[in-house]
Structures are given as C-alpha cells and as structure tokens.
Amino acid sequence: MSNTLHFNELPRPTFRWLKVNHTEGNVWAGTERATVTVEGSKHIVTDITNKELLEASYEGVHAGALRDASHHFTHGYHIQVPAGAKEALTIVLDVHGAVSERTRLQIEAEQGSTLELTVCLKGEATDGHVGLLSEIVSHTGASVVFKKVQLLTGKVQQFEHRYTRVEESGHVEFINIELGGAENYLNYQEDLVGDYAEVAHDLGYCGTGTQVFDIAMLMKHIGKKTISNINNLGALNGSSKKSFRGTLDFLRGSLASEGAEEDTCLLLTPTVKSISLPLLLCKEDNVSGNHASSAGQLDPAKLFYLMSRGFNEDEAKHIIVESMLRPLIDRIGHEEMEETALAVLRQKI
C-alpha cells in the first residue's frame, strides 16, 4: 500500500490540533511466510473454517489490515477448550526474509474451563510485516491467560489486532512483552459483557533506535460489577517513540463496575518521544474509573544510590530498567523465552 493510512484511531477524537488521535503510516510489503509451531494441547486445535469476525464492528489497527488478517490469513487456528477442562498451549511464529505473515487465532474457552496460551514472535526478518489477529471468548466462569512475547528484529512491522468477549464471571489476563519490531501497531478491545467479568492487561516494552510502539486499548464495561485494569509500562532509548491510547468506556447498565489504567514511561535519552492519552467515557452513574500517566527521566536519587555502591551510570540504568520489566518477564513461565527476552532487553538499554 502506498497511500498513507490512519492507524489506531481514538474512539472519540480529541485535541485535533495536537495530531495525536491516530498515527499515520503504511504497510510494508513482503512475500515470505512464517514457520509456525504448536506445542502442548494440540488436540484442542483445528483449522479455521468460519472467516467472519467475532465482532463485526471491531476495526483493529486499521480496517484494511484487519480484513487481510481475517480473510486472507496465511495460518489460521481454532482453539476450543471443553467445559471444565484445563489446557496449556504454546504457538511460535518464526519469520525470516522479507516477510508477509498474517496469523489468525480463534479462541473459545467454554464454561468453567482454563486456558494458558503463550504466543512468541521471533526471527531474523529483513523487511515486510507480521500480522496477528486473535479473537477470544471466555464463557461463564472460564479463565484465559494470554501471554505474548515479541522478539522480532528491528527491520519489520508488526500489526496486532485482538478482540475479547468476557461473559459472566469470566476472567481474562493478558501479558505482553514487546521488545522487537521497527514499527509496532497494537490494538486491543475487551468487551466485558457479563456480570462480574474481569480483564487485566499488563504490557511492557523497551524501545531503542527509531523503534515505534503504537498501542491502543479499549475496555468496554457492559455488564454489572465488571472490573478492568490496564498497566502499560516501559522505557525508551535513542530516538524511539511510544504512543498509548487507553480508553475505559462505561456503557449504560454497567452498574458498580470498576476500571483503572496507568501508563508509565522512562525516558532514557532526551531525543525520545512519549505520547499518552488515557481516556474515560461514561454513560453510567454508579461506576469507578481511574487513569494515570507519567513520563520522566530516571530518578537521580536512585542513580546516585546505585553508583555509590560501585556501579557505573550505564550499569545503574540497566538495573533500574530491568527491575521494572523483570517481574513481567518472569510471568511468562517459559524458561527459554524468559532468558531470551532478558538478553534482548539488556542489549537495548
């Protein structure tokens, strides 16, 4: 595509003169496909037969990119966990060359079931783009833990579209480790449709060079007494850039629901750029919504304390950034992935 596109547009545009309601860009071309491996409970995995979107109104990062991922995917997997079952699955995408990869996942956790899914994106891609579309349904009382580790080279684009529907007393937890990719466009929409539904989303990133992390999250509270929590944190080095557009949307009928979002960014050099737009929308009276955003340089007192213990300035910076992201990486639960992610992080600081 040669025309400029608008990625991750805010649900309700604001402050137009600041030009932060979306990000302009295009899709990088490629031809190579990824090598995909599936480990763990393979008996719950089948090929996708229904290409229709779970939520027709969902537009992802961009409607065109989402359409390509939903109807022209290169790999497609339907994952269904039977009622009351407990399953674990790992999917690894390995990309090389000038890549054009679109993987689609349809995930359904039936009543009272539990699924732990780990997705890893890695490889030595030299150009092109990698797309990942995930659609998740957590039925009554079901629990889904979705872990994603992104270790792509800094020469490839990443588009991730993720839509989640959580029914009564369902629980979904997301953990994102985003370290690679030249341009990363991430779009997540979570619909808490059932009473007592819960969603927690923790995302950690570290940028260097001219990397871009463009993140959009939308939590739609529909049922009563629903709970959502967004925790977005990371560090920027070199001339990298981060944009965060987080929206808590309390719809009419979401009585006694609670939502919170926090965006924290460490600015390691004066040439980085951090944009944060936490948005709160509300059509219901009896709800609680909280949002916070902070961006700043490393605490001089922390640096002084560490340097007074024998570390030089660079080593002290490494310790502070790693201590912030290490708890997230430790939750991956896959020793090899954790060690690889830590090694990549240490190279980037």
Q: What is the pLDDT of residues 28-77, one digit of tens each?
A: 999 999 999 999 999 999 999 999 999 999 999 999 999 999 999 999 99
Residue 264 has pLDDT above 60, yes or no: yes
The whole-number pLDDT of residue 310 equals 84
Average pLDDT over residues 281-296: 92
The whole-number pLDDT of residue 13 equals 77
Return the structure tokens found at 278. Answer: 């936490």
The answer to whether 90 and 39 have CB atoms below 8 angstroms apart is yes
Q: Is the dihedral of CA 63, 67, 70, 72 positive or negative?
A: negative
Average pLDDT over residues 285-293: 93
The whole-number pLDDT of residue 306 equals 85
The whole-number pLDDT of residue 17 equals 67
Q: pLDDT tens digits, residue range 246-262?
A: 999 999 999 999 999 99
More confident residue, 42 or 303: 42
* Whole-number Å distance between alpha carbons of 113 and 142: 5
Q: C-alpha angle 87/92/96, rounded to 5°?
A: 170
Residue 1 has pLDDT above 50, yes or no: no
Q: Angle of helix 313-329 relative to helix 300-307, nearest 10 degrees?
A: 110
Average pLDDT over residues 303-331: 88
Average pLDDT over residues 119-145: 97
Q: How confident is the model at residue 10 (pLDDT cuts 50, 70, 90)?
A: confident
Average pLDDT over residues 262-271: 94
pTM of this prediction? 0.94
The least confident of 78-82, 210-214, 303-307 is 303-307
The whole-number pLDDT of residue 231 equals 97
Residue 15 has pLDDT above 80, yes or no: no
Tell me whether residue 177 is exposed, middle or buried, using C-beta atoms within 10 angstroms of its C-beta: 0 to 12, 13 to 18, 19 or more.
buried
Residue 2 has pLDDT above 60, yes or no: no
Which neighbouring-strand residues pair with 106?
Answer: 78, 135
